[in-house]
Amino acid sequence: MKLSTRRRASWGAALVALACAVPVAVHATSAADAAQLAASRKTTGCPTTTNNGGTGNNGGTTPTPGNTTAPTPGNTTAPTPGNTTTPTPTPTPTPVLPISSVRITQANLKSGEAAPKFLSDLANVFSTCPDFVTFNEVPYRADDLLAPTGYDLFRTPGQYTGASPVVWRTDRWTAINRGTTMISNKRGRERGQHVEWGIRYANWVTVRSNDGKQMVSMVATHIAPKNSITAKLMGPSIQRLGALVGGLSSMGPVFVGGDFNVHYTAKDYPRAGLTAAGLTPSYDVYGSYLPTGDHHGATIDYVFMRPAASFSVLEQTTTELYSDHDALSVVLSMPATTSGETPVSFAPGTSVNDPTSTASASRRSVARTVRAAVHNAPRGAAIRLSTAQLSDRAIAAQLRRAHRLGVSVKIVSGSATPTRAEQALVTELGVRRTAKSWIVFRPTKFKASTSPTSMLINRTGASTYLVLTANRPLTTAMARDLAAARMSTTATTYSASLRVFGKMAKR
């Protein structure tokens, strides 16, 4: 379902507060351009209802009249002499078939491009009805243009956080999680530059097919080009991207699309780093590459996949655009079922739920992340949790389980009166702060400036020094409210958060 303007605005406020974007004024679409864009907006002609199987429905073909059915005389009933109607048979539902292939389109639409050219480029991008689109250089382009009817979009609004949104088809995929991760944060500009090239983010979405058997994540990013300020950013950027992809891989295969600003066969192409991240470009799998824009024949736009062994490249093409980049379109085969990788890891960045989604997994995505982090803590690990209130019984059950498995669990709650979930934890953990595990109640310690939830786990899955902060307490209302969580995995942040936790635990 298309996000409303109000929902996107509230999402943006929550995410910007957590993502720490750097606000700097740059070129934005003019009022005249914006009016022309709005007046010229058209739908894609792509399907807007579920159609997941059958020949030719691989996300790269336009639906034909054969995809619709006309009513037949059997669909109506005629009156009989007895004033009764003849019942008609209940139609047999069309089975939801697995998605057999996906089309991914990567498009860098040059910043500042005039409205008519921009609209023409958009039409070309959506002409093949891709399953996923990753955009670059569009921080101030309207969401409704970047995600027309039949599509949805995610990004954290902002000059840098919103430059590379991710878009997906809603008739084939349901979003269950989404977020934003910093890729590089090097400040500074060379003379004549309007933006800081070293500040880059990735936006991502995890989606599930309508039959529930396929789950994938799509990441959109834009690696910094090289200049005197950004010359050493490629390696660390690929490492951060790899950490994000590693975290998402626990849900299923991961795709990455973006402008990486390095030629495919160049000496400084980061093959070693990408291999370490488990990312394989479509060019490797297809066995050939092609120029992706007006850059002296260079190939700098990519679609990556993880794990490559699960896919084959069925088609790989570029489309000429007014932008200085071509649109790169890749069609990949899809396995009938997907599964996540182990061990689980947790990538730094911000993720959000969707309280209005019809999918429970999307409404409870933040709570699910909390449960997964607790569930994967091994014997001997330490969990330190402060929350304004804990009434989510599923999370409480995971905390009790962790304690029984030999994990040290210490909790500071802001409840003036313990909830049923907290009472069960009192029984399980006790309240003596000299013990290995405990729960205490400190309602006066939760001020307006205090994070409603902060959880520290020194070891969980493949991650160490996990710090998860959320803008909501761990209650069942988290699934009904807009919730955002930010994760960090640095020893410095963990140590600082541990000191804060210790102060909150004291009377």
3-state secondary structure of 480: coil
Cβ atoms 162, 22 nearer than 8 A: no
Pick from 265, 297, 267, 259: which is nearest to 284 by CA? 265
Residue ranges of the chain assigned to CATH 3.30.870.10: 347-503
Residue 132 phi/psi, 5-degree rounding, is -135, 145
Average the pLDDT over 106-124 and give the result.
97
Q: What would the pLDDT profile of 391-428 be if each residue is shown by its tens digit? A: 999 999 999 999 999 999 999 999 999 999 999 999 99
Stretch among 31-45, 180-194, 479-493 having the lowest mean pLDDT: 31-45
Stretch among 51-65, 180-194, 297-311, 475-489 having the lowest mean pLDDT: 51-65
- pLDDT bucket at 98, cuts 50 / 70 / 90: confident
**Does the pLDDT of residue 20 top 60, yes or no?**
no
Q: What would the pLDDT profile of 449-482 be if each residue is shown by its tens digit? A: 999 999 999 999 999 999 999 999 999 999 999 9
Residue 243 has a CB neighbour count (10 Å cut-off) of 19
Contacts of 294 (CB under 8 A, 6+ apart): 324, 325
Average pLDDT, the chain: 87
**What pLDDT, on a 0 to 100 scale, did the predictor assign at position 401?**
98
Q: What would the pLDDT profile of 210-263 be if each residue is shown by its tens digit? A: 899 999 999 999 999 999 899 999 999 999 999 999 999 999 999 999 999 999
**pTM for the model:** 0.82
Q: What would the pLDDT profile of 311-339 be if each residue is shown by its tens digit? A: 999 999 999 999 999 999 999 999 999 99
Residue 409 phi/psi, 5-degree rounding, is -120, 115
Q: What would the pLDDT profile of 221-232 be if each residue is shown by its tens digit? A: 999 999 989 999
Query: Residue 338 and residue 343: Cα distance in Å, rounded?
Result: 16
Q: What percent of the chain has pLDDT over 70?
A: 81
Distance set, CA 185 to CA 140, 188, 240 (Å): 20, 10, 11
**Does the pLDDT of residue 81 top 80, yes or no?**
no
Q: What would the pLDDT profile of 23-78 be if each residue is shown by its tens digit? A: 333 333 444 444 544 444 455 667 654 433 333 333 333 333 333 334 444 444 44
**What pLDDT, on a 0 to 100 scale, did the predictor assign at position 15?**
55
3-17, 86-100, 182-196, 449-463: which is most confident: 449-463
CATH architecture of residue range(s) 99-185+197-331: 4-Layer Sandwich (3.60)
Average the pLDDT over 117-139 and give the result.
98
Residue ranges of the chain assigned to CATH 3.60.10.10: 99-185+197-331
- The class that CATH gives domain 347-503 is alpha beta
- The one-character DSSP state at 73 is G
Helices (H), 385-446: 393-404, 420-429
Query: Residue 404 and residue 406: Cα distance in Å, rounded?
Result: 5
